[in-house]
Amino acid sequence: MNAERPTETPESTQASTPGSTPTSSQASTPESQRKKRLLFVDDEPRILQGIKRMLRTRRREWEVETAEGGREALELMEARPVDVIVTDMRMPHMDGAELLVATQARHPETIRIVLSGYADRDASLRTILVAHQFASKPFSADELITTLDRACSLSDLIKDEEVRQAVGSIELLPEPPQVYRECSRVLQEEESSVSRITAVIEKDPALAAKILQVVNSAFFGLPQKTSNLERAVSYLGTETIHGIVLAMEALRVGESTKGVGPISLAAVTSASVLSAQITRKIRAEDDDQQHQLYTTALLHDIGYLTLLENEPDRVAETVALADAERIPFDEARRILCCPPQSKVGAYLLGAWGLPLPVVEAVLFQHSCDRPADSCPLTGWIHLADRACKQAYQEAQGVDAFSRVTIAAEFRSLAGARWDELLAHARELVSLLTDEAA
């Protein structure tokens, strides 16, 4: 790990004793106020000391632990769990990929970050299914702190331990196999264009999310985060895209994923793609916002896929309650004391490093505790989703997936555009129905 050496004078850092337990006052400290525990793993002690010096200005907020290898890191986490683990890729005995696989299995709630240099790109693809974020090296203090701030903010944004546990154990989301076959075929063509590859990827929210996760990592060095899928495909290049597709295809579990009533892989994927198409009728302020709106709509229901893969029995219980009480799916989840799918999806996307406006829009898509005009992306995602599901209601009847209500504040924001969005949604659903017939 080659960290940029800071100019500050070294200052000793009090490290926690392995195996120590928090005091009663620490145990009762609210999640958002307690110190976050960060674990850095590298086989070079001087690098670890340099990182401690870099982070000394945040010592009131972060408790920094270090380990000189994977086995030591696992022992430390067994004694006291950590919020974030940051590991170098190349280490003897147990490399970064092996360490993150073990961390995912034993401590799924921990945010996992891998550090890697340009020469490690091929090796780093091995971590694509287990790392939440990537950081490039060498790095400055500001770059490292920004990455850590984002990782730590997830536990403040979404505090449910159940959400962190459920999302942390995910390797990938269920994938429609036909998308992979089509994507692999297009990638193998000599004259495949970026726009053609993007058009295939857009059919699958899970694959789109994974590609955006990779391109938004510091590892690829974009000057700012992007939600423009075509730009991401262009920047990564066909070789890297093909590697991502093959890695996910080799380990995909989607073919075994069973639908639960109206909540199915096909239904969620179809509604996500349709919602994204509806946003084409929304006139955004600029091209970047338009792309962000499209991508957010494509990913806004990704929490359903997570729940289908990880807790199908609880999904069935939720569907039964929603149908019996004639209430929306997420409202039934709250009654059952389960985190709503919107929160599960937002946490996943945040952990994967997507832009914060995308994460917030997914999180607050059903209601917003801020004025509607202060979060227009959230409002338009809310309306695109409602237009899509109302059109499905009219064509197929009401069920736990399509049963939604429109927030008055967002309806007011849209004005006459709501009728436009709904008409477009009806047209798209009609086309899909005719195609299926």
pLDDT (0 to 100) of residue 152 = 82
Nearest to 243 by CA among 312, 170, 184: 184
**126-140, 269-283, 293-307, 419-433: the lowest-pLDDT one:** 126-140
pLDDT (0 to 100) of residue 20 = 39
Q: Which residue has the tokens 């832009």?
A: 355
Q: What is the per-residue pLDDT across 19-68, written as a single tens digit (0 to 9) for each?
A: 333 443 444 455 556 789 999 999 999 999 999 999 999 999 999 999 99
pLDDT (0 to 100) of residue 167 = 66
Residue 6's pLDDT band (boundaries 50, 70, 90)? Answer: very low
Residue 325 Cα distances to 134, 188, 339, angstroms: 44, 50, 19
Higher pLDDT pick, 389 / 241: 389
Is the model's pLDDT at 74 over the cut of 70?
A: yes
Q: What is the mean pLDDT of residues 189-215?
A: 82
Higher pLDDT pick, 309 / 174: 309
Q: What is the per-residue pLDDT across 159-183, written as a single tens digit (0 to 9) for each?
A: 566 776 666 666 555 444 566 567 7
Q: Are 218 and 134 in contact (CB under 8 A)?
A: yes
Q: What angle do the packed helices 341-351 and 141-157 form, to 10 degrees?
A: 170
Higher pLDDT pick, 356 / 57: 57
pLDDT (0 to 100) of residue 233 = 87
Higher pLDDT pick, 66 / 114: 66
Is the model's pLDDT at 248 over the cut of 70?
A: no
Here the tokens at position 158 are 């979404």
Q: Are 87 and 73 in contact (CB under 8 A)?
A: yes
Is the model's pLDDT at 414 over the cut of 50?
A: yes
Is the model's pLDDT at 238 over the cut of 80?
A: no
CATH class of the domain at 258-437: mainly alpha
Mean pLDDT value across the chain: 78
pLDDT (0 to 100) of residue 55 = 94
Is the model's pLDDT at 259 over the cut of 80?
A: yes
Q: Could you tell me which residues come within 8 angstroms of residue 413 by beta carbon, excluding any fewer than 6 positions away?
A: 372, 373, 376, 379, 383
Domain ranges of the chain: 24-157, 175-252, 258-437
pLDDT (0 to 100) of residue 253 = 41
Is the model's pLDDT at 205 over the cut of 60?
A: yes
**43-57, 58-72, 130-144, 320-334: the lowest-pLDDT one:** 130-144
**38-47, 280-289, 368-377: the lowest-pLDDT one:** 368-377
Higher pLDDT pick, 250 / 98: 98
Q: Are 262 and 402 in contact (CB under 8 A)?
A: yes
pLDDT (0 to 100) of residue 97 = 86
Separation CA 350–CA 32 (nearest Å): 17
Residue 310's pLDDT band (boundaries 50, 70, 90)? Answer: confident
Is the model's pLDDT at 99 over the cut of 80?
A: yes
Residue 151 Cα distances to 154, 177, 254, 295, angstroms: 6, 32, 28, 21
Nearest to 315 by CA among 325, 326, 303: 303
Higher pLDDT pick, 255 / 86: 86
Higher pLDDT pick, 332 / 30: 332
pLDDT (0 to 100) of residue 299 = 86
24-157 under CATH 3.40.50.1860, yes or no: no
Please give, one letter per residue, the 3-state secondary structure of the chain: CCCCCCCCCCCCCCCCCCCCCCCHHHHCCCCCCCCEEEEEECCCHHHHHHHHHHCHHHCCCEEEEEECCHHHHHHHHHHCCCCEEEEECCCCCCCHHHHHHHHHHHCCCCEEEEEECHHHHHHHHHHCCCCCEEEECCCCHHHHHHHHHHHHHHHHHCCCHHHHHHHHCCCCCCCCHHHHHHHHHHHHCCCCCHHHHHHHHCCCHHHHHHHHHHHCCHHHCCCCCCCCHHHHHHHHHHHHHHHHHHHHHHHCCHHHCCCECCECHHHHHHHHHHHHHHHHHCCCCCHHHHHHHHHHHHHCCHHHHHHHHHCHHHHHHHHHHHHHHCCCHHHHHHHCCCCCHHHHHHHHHHHCCCCHHHHHHHHCCCCCCCCHHHCHHHHHHHHHHHHHHHHHHHHHCCCCCCCCCCCHHHHHHHCCHHHHHHHHHHHHHHHHHHHHC
* Phi, psi dihedral angles at 433 (to 5 degrees): -65, -45
Report the percent of the chain where pLDDT is more than 70: 73
Here the tokens at position 398 are 């009401």
pLDDT (0 to 100) of residue 251 = 43
pLDDT (0 to 100) of residue 359 = 83
pTM: 0.64
